């Protein structure tokens, strides 16, 4: 195929094969309206691998010696979504002003805080959480862990590196905040070392309950704009897995368009000033704190 | 003849006759023995060869055995008799008994052939009969008996050695030579005495006697070797040099004895050895032996020749051995050559400087070693780091830092870890200062992690921020830094460290995941309890990535907890061979035999083979029995491996088991392994004999 030729268009049968394979492997669900997404984004992979059709690409994903790495590539292009620091700021304000002080009080005896950005992509959300924890001044001598996890390895590597080009990820960040928490880097800006020390990134599939146990008990889970990639069954499983990881009274934050309606009744709704979040019911003796 | 065959209805084409004979294996005719014997007497060698193989495979056919032995008693067909001798070996102890029965009826040719047949049986009883035959009135029979002992003697070296040492007293020089050759072929160590010494001045016996004397390792032999190297004719000098190699291999005392003896060797001889080692037209073995001899001579000029030989693939190993032998006197030459010349020689000189330098010249060596780091060639870097590991100073430590950064080959980085670790242990204050300058986020975090681990292990203390530094380094963007931090964390017990290591199981890089698994297996709490056990349990019970699961199984072997052991015992019975093998190997780390032998009952031969390889490392009297049991395994490759491993294990029990199976094993490859194993055990034993004439030994 020459550089001027477009790869052959995705056929419905090829779309179904690829879509079902992705679902089978990692639980990510794409409905019929996603066919254009597969065509456009996986088409780039066809060109990169010099394959002549999506059927060949399907075979490559299933049977080639490089299948595991290519599957990671496919998931990366299929689930790419825009992300930036301090995204959905109103929700983050609630987290910073209401939830963090409550957590400081609740965990005062252990001085331990674990926050999880589930589906962290290239790390912007995890580092945003780290900035808020730091500037709150409530956890200075605490053992704070901010965990970022994603299903694609390349995004985890990028998150770990913490280097971002000017613009893009910085669109809503104040210059003073940027100067405080980032250092100039030949490729843009790098998250300051002291902030990166809070954060750990790992390659995790939210459907894989056994593997998620490594995360340990968590106080707050950010799982924003992730459930959109799962069908109803998988969504239930993911939420159940997150529920198991949360401590009693732990908080789950979803994206602004997402809810647990028809997914789970295990959580309680917690009304904050600017947002609604989900809370794992507390044991009675701890209920007074939050 | 041809016409006669045609008249008798016998096939005239030898190839067709050979095929007919080959069919005897399956036809099973009533007159089979008669037909085989006829074929053994055939005029064509191909037919005889085929018949001989058929006759061997028909063992233990008693009727055929009698017919075969009968050819020794009467008959003049040389081809038939030779073919019969070849076949008789397969009849083992039955053949020995049958030959012994008719021995008195045999003429001298028959007795000679009987000796050859006995050699092929591999039976201990044959050795005793050959001992009798070594007293025969006929010199040819004696020679055949002594020669036969060089092969069958492996099954009973003590008995064979007694016979052979006694035979050295024969008047006939040829018989003495045959005896010496058999002694050398069996690798026996015989005592040094005046008789053996006298053989050294006999032109017919001198080379064989020198080889035997050198292997004996008597300190008095050193001066004779020096004399032989200096004065023997060139045609014999190779044997003298080879004997010198054997002598040096006996032990340090022999090396010292040779060194003292070689002091008096004339300069012309040294010159000759130097010339020989440099002579590309000379046989390789002679050049190698000359180099080893130069090592013993030990002068500065000799070091130059040895250094030059470092550039040759065939001679490099002997050249290194020679330089080690020359020792500190070679340092000057090594320093000079570490600075100039081809990269192979420079690289080897730098490495050898680290190994050879002593207190008197370490400073001089270190200057040359530290200068060499300017050379960025990867081969040179590894040599430099190997030298630094042995003698490196603070400056070397500082110069090692770049080799632990990301842009170097994994092998070089591994050498750098060893070097930095060794230097840090020698210079803890300087190492700590340098480690403190590294950022957990930067490229030198791996260096700092290696230093912290070395200082902790060597008892130089843990700094308050070490755990924090290492757990933060687990998030370093460079894979090798994360791996180094995980490796260091195994020495730092605590919840935070364990958590960081466990989370690294989710790392995107496989080498980091594997390092995390290994570290989890090794992390211990203050009371010695395993900190990573639960994580490893989870991974083994629910993991789907086979590479990680097998690695976790291995790691469970280092945990040494009852629960881990129980899980491993179950896994050793797992249908998936990779997991079963990993479990067996893991249990071996615990050192207990009971768990390991579970693998011997696995249905998959590969698991059994892996278990056997693990088993042989145990110093346990039950090992030969377990190995021996596998000589009856259904899979021939398991039986063969068991034989090989019994050879490696050695000992009387192993010999008994091997001998017992030699007569029953049908598979040719396994039989071969059984024979080789017996030969190997016997050769290794090199039994020493008492002097034949007490009081004559040195």
Please report the pLDDT score of residue A204 as a whole number.
Answer: 94
| pLDDT tens figures, B640-663 | 999 999 988 888 888 888 888 877
pLDDT score recorded for residue A284? 53
* B contact set with A (CB within 8 A): 439-441, 472, 474-477, 496, 499-500, 502-508, 535, 538, 541-543
In this complex, the residue of A161, A196, A204 whose CB is nearest that of residue B506 is A204
**pLDDT tens for each residue of B158-171:** 889 899 999 998 88
Please say whether the beta carbons of A251 and A281 come within 8 A: no
Residue contact B472–A197, C-beta within 8 A: yes
**Predicted local distance difference test score (pLDDT) of residue B690:** 37
Q: Of A207, A75, A211, give the one whose Cα is nearest residue B505.
A: A211
For residue B496, what is the nearest residue in chain A, using CA coordinates? A143
The whole-angstrom distance between B466's CA and the closest CA on chain A is: 14
Spatial separation of the C-alpha atoms in residues A199 and A114, rounded to whole Å: 10
When mean pLDDT is compared across B48-52, B506-510, B519-523, the lowest value belongs to B48-52
Q: What was the pLDDT predicted at A2?
A: 42
The phi, psi pair for B122, rounded to 5°, reads 70, 25
Residue B488 to residues B82, B278, B448, B469, B493, Cα–Cα distance (Å): 69, 49, 10, 11, 11
Q: How far apart are the first and last CA of chain B?
A: 66
Please give the pLDDT value at position B683. Answer: 61
- A149 → closest Cβ in B440, B506, B535: B506
Confidence of residue B8 (pLDDT cuts 50, 70, 90): low
Q: What is the CATH number of domain A89-286?
A: 3.40.50.150
Residue B1 has a pLDDT of 40
Torsion sign over Cα B455, B460, B465, B467? positive
DSSP assignment string, A137-157: -S-TTSEEEEEEEES-HHHHH
pLDDT of A288 reads 46
**CA-to-CA separations, A274 to A164, A262, B359, B525, B590, in angstroms, rounded:** 29, 23, 76, 46, 59
Q: Give the separation between CA B96 and CA B82, rounded to whole angstroms.
A: 17
State the Cα–Cα distance between residues B234 and B238, nearest whole angstrom: 7
Q: Kindly tell me if the per-residue pLDDT of B484 is higher than 70.
A: yes
Query: Under an 8 A CB cutoff, do B507 and A210 touch?
Result: no
Chain-chain contact of B475 with A147 (C-beta, under 8 angstroms) = no
Q: In what order do the strands lie in the sheet with A163-164?
A: A163-164, A188-191, A182-185
**Residues B493, B504 contacting (CB under 8 angstroms):** no
pLDDT value for A268: 93
| CB contact at 8 A, B192 and B221 | yes
Distance from CA of A264 to the nearest CA of B (A): 25
Peptide bond into B514 cis (omega under 30): no
CB A87 within 8 A of CB A172: yes
- Band (pLDDT 50/70/90 cuts) for residue B279 is confident
For the residues of A241-259, what is the DSSP string, one character each?
Answer: HHHHHEEEEEEEEE-TT--
Contacts of B378-382 with C-beta under 8 Å, sequence gap 24+, read: B378/B408, B378/B409, B378/B412, B379/B343, B379/B344, B379/B347, B380/B343, B380/B346, B380/B347, B380/B350, B381/B408, B381/B412, B381/B415, B382/B347, B382/B411, B382/B412, B382/B415
Contact list in B for residue A147 (CB cut-off 8 A) is: 503
Phi-psi region of B393 (alpha: psi -120 to 50; beta: other; left: phi over 0): beta
CB contact under 8 A, B500 and A213: no
Q: What is the mean pLDDT of residues B89-99?
A: 87
pLDDT of residue B695: 34
Q: Positive or negative, the Cα torsion across B454, B457, B461, B466?
A: positive
Q: What three-state secondary structure class fits A221?
A: strand
Q: Which domains does chain B show, CATH number per domain?
A: 616-698 (1.25.10.10)
Residues of A in contact with B472 (CB under 8 A): 196-197
Please tell me the least confidently modeled range out of A276-280, B263-267, B518-522, B608-612. Answer: B263-267
Residues of chain A within CATH 3.40.50.150 domain(s) are 89-286
**Shortest CA distance from B439: residue in chain A:** A193
Alpha carbon distance B537, B166 (integer Å): 66
Name which of A204-218, B206-220, B662-676 the model is least confident about: B662-676
Chain B partners within 8 Å of A216 (Cβ): 499, 502
Give the tens place of pLDDT for each residue, A123-136.
Answer: 999 999 999 999 99
Residues pairing with A149 in the sheet: A118, A202
Q: How far apart are the C-alpha atoms of B138 and A201, rounded to whole Å?
A: 88
Cβ atoms of B667 and B637 within 8 Å: the answer is: no
Q: For residue B505, what are the CA distances in angstroms to A197, A212, B223, B538, B563?
A: 18, 11, 64, 11, 22
Listed in order, the ranges of chain A carrying CATH 1.10.155 are 12-78
- Give the distance from residue A198's alpha carbon to the nearest chain B alpha carbon, in angstroms: 8
CB distance B652 to B640 below 8 Å: no
Chain B interface includes A203 (CB < 8 A): yes
CB B635 within 8 A of CB B606: no
Q: Does A162 touch chain B (CB under 8 A)?
A: yes
DSSP alpha helix (H) spans, B340-465: 343-356, 362-372, 378-391, 394-400, 410-426, 428-437, 445-457
Question: What's the burial of A22, exposed, middle or buried (CB within 10 Å: 0-12/13-18/19+)?
Answer: buried
- Residue B216 near residue B189 (C-beta atoms within 8 A): yes
pLDDT at B29: 67
pLDDT band for position B373 (cuts 50, 70, 90) = confident
The whole-number pLDDT of residue B122 equals 80
Q: Does A200 contact B507 at a Cβ distance shorter than 8 Å? A: no
Query: Residue B192 has which token pair?
Result: 């040094």
Interface residue of B468, B503, B520 to substitute, partner A, most A CBs within 10 Å: B503
Smallest CA–CA separation between B508 and chain A, in Å? 5
Cα–Cα distance measured from residue B620 to residue B643, given in angstroms and rounded to the nearest whole number: 18
First to last CA, chain A: 61
The residue ranking higher by pLDDT, B697 or A190, is A190
Per the CB < 8 Å rule, is A202 touching B535? no
Q: How far is CA A54 from CA A42, A51, A72, A284, B364, in A?
A: 8, 8, 17, 56, 67
Residue B24, pLDDT score = 79
A280 lies within 8 A of chain B by CB: no
Asked if residue B488 lies in contact with residue B463, where contact means CB atoms within 8 angstroms, the answer is no
State the nearest Cα–Cα gap between A197 and chain B, in angstroms.
5
State mean pLDDT over B495-522.
93
Q: What is the pLDDT of residue B694?
A: 33
CB contact (8 A) between residue A197 and residue B475: yes
Beta bridge partners of A147: A116, A200
pLDDT at residue B519 tops 90: yes
Cα–Cα distance for residue pair B117/B90, rounded to 1 Å: 10
Nearest to A160 among B477, B502, B535 (CB): B477
Residue with tokens 């090199």: B686
Chain A residues touching residue B542 (CB < 8 angstroms) = 210-211
Helix (H, G, I), strand (E, B) or coil at A190: strand
Contact flag A160-B475 (C-beta cutoff 8 Å): yes
ipTM of the complex: 0.73
The closest of A103, A95, A82 to A225, measured between CA atoms, is A82
Q: In whole numbers, what is the pLDDT of chain B averaged over residues?
A: 86
Give mean pLDDT, residues B354-380: 83
| Residue from B505, B506, B532, B544 whose CB has the most chain A CBs within 10 Å, to mutate | B506
Q: Do B508 and A161 touch (CB under 8 A)?
A: no
Q: Is the pLDDT of residue B191 over 70?
A: yes
| Residue numbers in B near A149 (CB within 8 A) | 506
- pLDDT (mean) for A14-36: 88
Q: Which CATH number fits domain A12-78: 1.10.357, 2.10.260, 3.40.50, 1.10.155?
A: 1.10.155
Q: Give percent of chain B with pLDDT exceeding 90.
A: 36
Mean pLDDT of the region A89-115: 94
| Other beta carbons within 10 Å of B556 | 32
Contacts of B3 (CB under 8 A, 6+ apart): none
pLDDT the model gives residue A287: 46
Q: Between the CA atoms of B157, B159, B160 and B161, what dihedral angle is there, to the nearest 10 degrees?
A: 80
3-state secondary structure of B641: helix
Question: Is-contact B261 B250, C-beta < 8 A?
Answer: no
How many separate helices (H) and strands (E) can be counted in chain B?
44, 0
Is A210 within 8 Å of chain B by CB? yes
Nearest to A83 by CA among A8, A11, A155: A155
Model confidence at B682: pLDDT above 80: no
- Give the confidence band of B378 by pLDDT, cuts at 50, 70, 90: low
Segment A237-280, tens digit of pLDDT: 999 999 999 999 999 999 888 888 888 889 999 999 888 999 99
Enumerate residues 6+ apart whose C-beta is below 8 A from B657. B624, B627, B628, B631, B646
Distance from C-alpha of A202 to C-alpha of B509, rounded to nearest angstrom: 10
pLDDT confidence tier of residue A68, bands split at 50, 70 and 90: confident
Residues 6+ apart with CB under 8 A from A54: A7, A8, A10, A11, A14, A15, A18, A38, A42, A46
Q: Which residues of A touch B476 (CB under 8 A)?
A: 160
Residue A96: count of CB within 10 angstroms of its CB: 18
* Contact present, B440 and A193 (Cβ < 8 Å): yes
Interface mutation target, options B471, B474, B501, B508, chain A, most CBs of A under 10 Å = B508
pLDDT band at A281; cut points 50, 70, 90: very high
Predicted confidence (pLDDT) at residue B696 exceeds the cutoff of 70 = no
Q: Compute the radius of gyration of chain B from its Cα atoms.
A: 33
| pLDDT score at B418 | 94
CA of A179: how far to CAs of A131, A133, A182, A184, in Å? 12, 17, 6, 9
Q: Which residues does chain A have within 8 Å of residue B507's beta carbon, measured at their own beta carbons?
A: 202-203
């Amino acid at each position: 195929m020459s550089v001027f030729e477009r790869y052959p268009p995705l056929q419905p049968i090829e779309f179904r094969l690829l879509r079902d394979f992705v679902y089978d492997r990692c639980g990510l669900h794409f409905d019929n309206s996603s066919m254009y997404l597969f065509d456009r984004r996986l088409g780039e992979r066809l060109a990169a691998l010099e394959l002549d059709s999506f059927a060949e690409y399907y075979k490559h994903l299933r049977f080639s010696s490089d299948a595991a790495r290519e599957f990671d590539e496919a998931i990366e292009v299929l689930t790419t979504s825009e992300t930036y620091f301090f995204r959905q700021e109103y929700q983050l304000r609630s987290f910073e002003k209401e939830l963090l002080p409550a957590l400081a009080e609740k965990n005062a005896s252990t001085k331990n805080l674990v926050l999880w950005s589930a589906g962290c992509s290239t790390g912007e959300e995890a580092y945003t959480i780290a900035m808020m924890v730091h500037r709150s001044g409530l956890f200075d001598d605490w053992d704070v862990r901010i965990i970022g996890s994603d299903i694609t390895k390349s995004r985890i590597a990028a998150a770990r590196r913490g280097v971002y080009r000017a613009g893009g990820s910085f669109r809503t960040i104040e210059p003073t905040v940027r100067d405080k928490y980032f250092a100039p880097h030949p490729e843009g800006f790098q998250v300051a070392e002291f902030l990166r020390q809070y954060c750990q990134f790992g390659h995790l599939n939210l459907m894989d309950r056994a593997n998620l146990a490594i995360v340990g008990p968590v106080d707050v889970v950010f799982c924003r704009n992730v459930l959109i990639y799962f069908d109803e069954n998988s969504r239930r499983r993911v939420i159940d897995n997150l529920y198991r990881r949360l401590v009693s009274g732990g908080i789950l934050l979803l994206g602004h368009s997402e809810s647990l309606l028809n997914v789970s009744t295990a959580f309680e709704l917690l009304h904050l000033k600017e947002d609604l979040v989900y809370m794992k019911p507390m044991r009675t003796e701890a209920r007074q704190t939050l | 003849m041809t016409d006669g065959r045609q008249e008798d209805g016998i096939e005239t084409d030898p190839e067709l006759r050979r095929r007919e004979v080959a069919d005897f294996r399956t036809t099973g005719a009533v007159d089979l023995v008669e037909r085989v014997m006829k074929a053994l007497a055939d005029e064509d060698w191909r037919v005889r060869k085929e018949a001989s193989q058929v006759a061997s495979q028909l063992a233990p056919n008693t009727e055929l055995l009698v017919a075969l032995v009968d050819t020794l008693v009467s008959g003049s067909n040389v081809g038939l008799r030779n073919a019969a001798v070849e076949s008789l070996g397969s009849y083992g102890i039955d053949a020995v008994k049958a030959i012994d029965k008719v021995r008195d009826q045999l003429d001298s040719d028959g007795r000679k052939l009987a000796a050859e047949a006995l050699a092929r049986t591999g039976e201990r009883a044959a050795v005793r009969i050959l001992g009798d035959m070594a007293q025969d009135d006929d010199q040819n029979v004696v020679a055949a008996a002594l020669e036969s002992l060089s092969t069958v003697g492996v099954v009973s070296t003590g008995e064979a050695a007694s016979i052979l040492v006694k035979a050295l007293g024969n008047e006939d020089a040829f018989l003495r030579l045959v005896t010496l050759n058999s002694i050398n072929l069996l690798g026996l160590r015989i005592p040094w005495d005046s008789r053996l010494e006298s053989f050294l001045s006999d032109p017919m016996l001198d080379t064989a006697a020198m080889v035997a004397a050198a292997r004996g390792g008597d300190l008095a032999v050193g001066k004779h070797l020096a004399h032989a190297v200096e004065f023997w004719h060139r045609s014999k000098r190779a044997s003298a040099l080879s004997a010198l190699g054997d002598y040096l291999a006996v032990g340090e005392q022999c090396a010292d004895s040779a060194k003292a003896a070689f002091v008096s060797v004339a300069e012309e001889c040294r010159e000759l050895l130097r010339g020989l080692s440099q002579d590309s037209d000379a046989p390789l073995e002679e050049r190698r032996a000359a180099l080893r001899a130069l090592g013993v001579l030990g002068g500065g000029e000799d070091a130059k020749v040895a250094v030059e030989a470092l550039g040759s693939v065939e001679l490099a190993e002997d050249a290194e051995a020679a330089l080690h032998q020359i020792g500190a006197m070679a340092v000057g030459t090594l320093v000079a050559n570490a600075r100039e010349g081809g990269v192979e020689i420079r690289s080897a000189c730098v490495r050898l400087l680290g190994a050879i330098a002593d207190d008197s010249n370490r400073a001089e060596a270190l200057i040359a070693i530290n200068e060499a780091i300017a050379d960025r060639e990867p081969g040179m870097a590894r040599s430099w780091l190997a030298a630094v590991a042995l003698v490196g100073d603070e400056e070397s430590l500082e110069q090692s830092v770049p080799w632990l950064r990301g842009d170097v080959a994994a092998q070089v980085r591994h050498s750098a870890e060893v070097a930095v670790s060794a230097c840090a242990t020698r210079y803890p204050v300087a190492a700590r200062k340098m480690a403190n300058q590294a950022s957990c986020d930067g490229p030198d975090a791996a260096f700092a992690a290696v230093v912290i681990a070395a200082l902790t292990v060597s008892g130089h203390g843990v700094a308050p921020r070490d755990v924090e530094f290492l757990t933060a380094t687990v998030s370093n963007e460079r894979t090798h830094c994360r791996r180094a931090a995980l490796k260091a964390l195994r020495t730092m017990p605590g919840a935070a460290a364990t958590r960081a290591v466990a989370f690294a199981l989710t790392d995107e890089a496989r080498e980091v995941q594997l390092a995390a698994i290994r570290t989890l297996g090794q992390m211990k709490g203050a009371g010695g309890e395993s900190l990573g056990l639960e994580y490893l349990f989870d991974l083994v019970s629910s993991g789907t990535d086979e590479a990680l699961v097998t690695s976790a199984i291995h790691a469970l072997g280092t945990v040494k907890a009852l629960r881990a052991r129980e899980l491993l015992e179950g896994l050793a019975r797992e249908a998936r061979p990779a997991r079963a093998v990993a479990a067996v190997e893991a249990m071996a780390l615990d050192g207990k035999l009971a768990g390991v032998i579970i693998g011997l009952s696995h249905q998959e031969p590969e698991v059994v083979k892996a278990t056997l390889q693990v088993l042989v490392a145990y110093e346990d009297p039950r090992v030969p029995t377990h190995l021996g049991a596998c000589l009856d395994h259904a899979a021939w490759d398991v039986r063969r491996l068991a034989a090989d491993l019994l050879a490696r294990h050695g000992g009387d029990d192993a010999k008994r088991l091997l001998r017992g199976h030699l007569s029953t094993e049908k598979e040719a490859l396994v039989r071969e392994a059984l024979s080789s194993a017996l030969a190997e055990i016997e050769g290794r034993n090199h039994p020493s004999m008492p002097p034949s004439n007490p009081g004559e030994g040195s």
